[in-house]
Each structure stands twice: as C-alpha cells, then as structure tokens.
Structure 1
Amino acid sequence: MSPMSAADAPVAPSAHGQPVAPRFQVHAYSLALRLVSALLQVLMTADILCASALIVVGTFTGAMNPRPPALAGWLALIALALFGLTRLIRWLTAATFSVEPSQFVLERRGDRFELPVTSVESARVWRLPLPGAGVSLRMKSGRGFQYALQVVDPLPVLEAMGTEANHPLTAFAHARATVSRRRWYHLVLKFVLFPLVPAVIMFQLNQRITYGGPFAQYQMYGMGPYMQSFFTYWTYFTALLVLFASIWRVLAELVAFAGAWISPRRARGVRRFVEVASAVLYYGGFCSLVAWKFLQ
C-alpha cells in the first residue's frame, strides 16, 4: 500500500494515543439512484448546450431589436430544475465512510453498515465516472455491496483500505481532484464576468452605429429597452463562450485521460498542462478570435 498524504485522509491520535480511523465524506448511491443522477447530469449538460446553440444561432437574425429565442429561456429553466434535482439527490445520499482496522463503516441518514474487512473481496474505481468519480465494493460472496460510493478523489479511500490503487482511472480521478479544483467563483469569472468584455464592446458599437451615441437608445426609449439590448449581447456572448469552452474541455479531458492511461505516474503533470492550456485557449483564444473578426 502506498503512503497516504495527510491532506487526503488525516489521521489524528485519539485521547488514548490510538490513531483515528480514516473517515471520508462520500455520497452513497443505490444502483437505481446512481443511474437517475447520471441521467439528470447528462440531460442537464445537453440542455445547456442546446440552449446555448439556440441563442448563438437564433439571436441576431436581422431583426431591428434582436432577442434570444424564447425556447432558450425555457431550456434554461429546465436546466435549473435539473440542477436542483441533482443537488437534492446529493443531499439525500450524503454519507461518511470510515476505514477501521477490522471493518469498513458506512453511515448515511441514520443507517449504519459495518462490513468486516474479511468479507470484502475488492474495491475498484468506477469505470464510468458518472455522476462523478467513485468506488464500488465487491463482497467475497460474489455480490456487490448495495451502495456505491461517490468520492471526489478515490485514491485516498483505496489506499486507506489497503487496496491496489494504480489503475489509470484512479490516477485520472486523483489528478483531476487535486490539480483542477474548481470553485463557484471560477465559474462566475468564466461565464458571467468574462463575457462582459466582448458584450460591452459590441453593445457600445451597436449603440453608436444604430442610435448615434453610447446612451442614445436610453435617451430615446428609456432604461428598459436599453438594458434589454445590453442583456441580449451579454447572453449571446455567454452562450458562445459556453460552446467555446465545451470544445476545449472535451479535448482537455481526452488528453488527460490518454496521459493517465499511458503513464499513471505522470497523470498529474498531464492534467496540470491541459488545465493551463485550456485556460490560455479559452481566454486568449477567444480574445484573439474577436480581434481577428474586428480586423477583417
């Protein structure tokens, strides 16, 4: 068993001088609930991409006062509802998994499952990481444990269990969890604030060309139409950047997966490279495309 870092699963001495069993925050899914959660995640992603494509294709179609298609708004509401359902499932499946010397303990919503170490044949990372990375337990009876455990980083769990943890999928999930730690404010910067840059530029160009000044539409028609026009440009560039980012994300994950499969030991280095490259291509590449469009 390879050594486990303190950041992954801290082990502190108890009041009696004995080490505390590693304890992990997980989500315990039954097979049916995992399938539902994975399906919701796929539908939500497809919904967002469809809404973005509709906005990009159908917003500026020669109308005097362009607006995003109404269908895109309904799809956005559906995506929001799907997101709420996925959050509800995560809340319902929240659990803790402890690795004790003689048993594994899963505690979820008032239930406690104690699995003797001798009754567990193996633990392996999910081959299909949906709704996220996770670990499944196989009992010596030949049956799988009734709950599969979703965990952000399966490597510390497998190491704590004393299970072989050198599978490429484990390396891939570990690199993703430790290198690309996304927070909510990263998404805000990427899909809320950054689209303001091209939106403000194009909106002000439109104001000057169409109405004769930066605030002419406001002076002629009021605040409502003025803000509606700005919202249209911001929505358009947000949708365009969602599609733009999706292309680079798919390519980045394919490169990171191939790197982890070819050389699991270098998975973190490959992941670090693709994350930096994706950021450069997203921010720098999009700005370059906008500049090239202006210079045509």
Structure 2
Amino acid sequence: MTNKAQQPSTQISAQAYKLYDKYAHGMLSRRDFFAAMAGLAVNAVLATTFINSMLPNYALAQQVSFNDADIIASYQKFASPQGHGEGRGYLVKPKNASAALPAVLVIHENRGLNPYIEDVARRLAKAGFIAFAPDALWPLGGYPGNDDDGRDMQRSLEPAKIVADLKAAAQWLKQLEGSSGKLGVVGFCFGGAMTGRLAAELPDIVDAGVPFYGSPPPADSIGNIKAPLLVQLGELDERVNAMWPAAEALFKQHKLDYKIEMYPASHHGFHNDSTARYNKEMAELAWQRTLAFFRQHLG
C-alpha cells in the first residue's frame, strides 16, 4: 500500500517530529504545537503542509476492508469487574476456520480504538488469527471519531481501571469459543507499553507479546514475564529508545526470551500508515516479523 500523506521538508522534519511526539503524548497542547511548528517553518505554507501530513488520514490506513469476504467482524462486550464493569472491542475472525485458532489481543495507542487499529485487527484475521481490539474509551462511549478528543478522553480515565479492562479483555479472548487457548498480544505506543505490562501481570495468560515503540514494563515486574517478546523500535524514536537499555539489562538478568528489533530511519509510530510517520518498508518488515513470531509461539 502506498502512503499518500504529504512528506515534510527535511530541513524542519527532525525538530518537527519531536514536537509532534510531544503533542501526541500530551506534553504540548494543540495550540502550543501549532505555535511551535509555525516557529520552525520557513514559511506558513510549509508549516501547514507538515501539520496536515502529521494529522491522521484514516482513509490511507485501510489495507483490509471491513466487508472482506475472508473475515467476519463484529463488536463484542466483555465483563470487567475490576475495571469499568464492562468493556467493548472489535472482534475479527477468519471466515471459514476448520480448527481452533490462536488469538491475538490488539491494544491501541493513547487515543482509543481508531480505524487504523481496527484495520490491524483485520490484517491479523486475514493472516489466520482471531483478533480482538478493545476500546479503552468504551466507558465514555467509545472512540469519538477524532484523535484529539480521543486523547483527552483517555487521559481523563483512571489508569488502573484501563489496565484492569485490558487484562479482562485478554482473559475473555483466551477463553473465547474457537480459540486454541494460545494468546498473543500486540500493541502500539501506549498499547506497546501495555503489551509488556500484561505479559508481566498475566504471565499464565499471555503466550507471546509484540510491543511496538512502547515503554518497557515496570522494572520490578520484569522478572514475572514468561512469554517470549519481540520488541519493535524506531531508530529515530529517542524518547522511547532511551528507556530500553536499563530494561534490557533486566531482561538479560532474568533470562527472558526476547529480541529487540531496531528499524533504521524510522520514527515513533512508523507502523501507522495514516500519517507521515509511516515508513512503508520498515512497517512491512516489522509486520512480517510479527506474524512469523506469533506463528512460531502460538502455533
């Protein structure tokens, strides 16, 4: 799939990507982000071009149609007594499965279940997995249709209850009818951090994890991890990458089964094909490695 997002000028991109990363993770308000971008630009047109390229265009992110003939997609609810009481997510299954299949929990970024994450779930189903993508924003009515509001909504929720909802989703999915009982977890940004955390807090539930550019699990929980992990990082993602050397030392200390893949010339969010952060070549390589990893460890 070709990324049609406009690409920024190289003379401002390095600084601009850092500003966008701060904005996307709540360190800059939208107003301050736009003001800082205007200060970087050679002219207003260039600033606007970059800003527009960074904001998601979800029409670019659909690789598998919601009505693809090979899959069955639906929204399903699950009980979460330790969280918000009830959760909801997007369930996608291969249409004509002749045997029980491994399942993969897909955890979104810090803005709710947007169309890109739903497409990731469909891609997994096309590859032969049962995929379920819970929406952390369901207690507030679900993803609101735009990332800015979604980000604000997710920040307003109690973090411990979000984690409890995700853990409940993992347990629900592992026992789902048609599942082989093997469970993988893949997540992006916030979801990447949650992938490692679920592996640490649900060591008898999670059978394999693939965190994309997320922070490592809490240091005091790393020794609990039993599942093999494939950590996917972008070379230019300085903020997240700085957290990993200390975590990797603990991974080695506890003799975890893990591999860290570093993708050249790739920013935070390089797998997300709805914005200019997308690196097509590296995203496709990371995805093929993800599928191979799940097939190896989930069957």
Pick the structure with more strand per residue. 2
| TM-score normalised by structure 1 residue count | 0.26
Task: Between the two structures, name the one with larger relative contact order (CA 8 Å, sep ≥ 6).
Answer: 1
Choose 1 or 2 for highest CA Rg: 1
Select the structure that is richer in helix. Answer: 1
